[in-house]
Amino acid sequence: MTKLAVFASGSGSNFEAIASAIENGELDASISLVVCDRPGAKVEKRAEAFGIPVLSFYPKSYESKADFETFILQQLNEAGIEWIMLAGYMRLIGPTLLQGFEGRIVNIHPSLLPSFPGKDAIGQAFEAGVKLTGVTVHFVDEGMDTGKIIEQDYVRIDENDTKENLGRKIQAVEHVLYPAVIRSLLQEKIKR
């Protein structure tokens, strides 16, 4: 069974979607570790409910990104982690982890990349007045949401949508798309 680590900074609803897909037998994998760079974030409680260990850390307690990524890399290797799934991890991945997990780090982003990279992609799309936005799952490189696109799905922005309910529509699509893409990746249906 493939061992995954999920990295998150916030609520962890995508973590939960992946963990539930595993629990329901839709995904032949296990989440061996959740990595969280914001101690106290809701994802910690969600992980606890699934009995999954959490590695929480304060980035500011380290001198550099290389320092905390070296620490994380050691923990991932000790746990035998094969893939890193970013799920709302609001931090660029540095060279230490990129080299340690080359071609095996994936991210989900709430827009149709290359449109609206970076923070608050849902708000950016809403403010821009586009009629179509969506979700992208992509490989991670050193850039901000720039890696090779694996899969996308769209969400229509209707006349009476608010930013809040657009957020809910996007997340509903994320929670289906991310486990499905991970499943294909692990079955090697997707070329790296």
Interface residues toward ligand GAR, by CB under 6 A: 8, 10-14, 87-88, 108-110, 121, 145, 171, 174
Q: Which is nearer to ligand GAR, 88 or 100 (CB)?
A: 88
CB of 74 to ligand GAR, least distance (A): 25
Instruction: Give the whole-angstrom CA distance, residue 173 versus residue 178.
Output: 9
Q: Which is nearer to ligand GAR, 77 or 148 (CB)?
A: 148
CA neighbours within 13 Å on the CB side: how many for 36?
22
Q: Which is nearer to ligand GAR, 70 or 123 (CB)?
A: 123
Is 109 annotated as catalytic?
yes
Q: Is position 13 annotated in a ligand binding site?
A: yes
Q: Is position 185 annotated in a ligand binding site?
A: no
Q: Is position 20 annotated in a ligand binding site?
A: no
CB of 63 to ligand GAR, least distance (A): 25
38, 109, 138, 175: which is the annotated catalytic residue? 109
- Burial string for 14-30 (b: 16+ CB within 10 Å, else e) reads bbbbbbebbeeeebebe
Q: Which is nearer to ligand GAR, 23 or 67 (CB)?
A: 23
169: nearest Cα among 137, 129, 140, 126: 126
Instruction: Give the whole-angstrom CA distance, residue 144 versus residue 169.
Output: 23
Binding-site residue ranges? 12-14, 65, 90-93, 107
Active site residues: 109
* Annotation: binding site for (6R)-10-formyltetrahydrofolate: 65, 90-93, 107
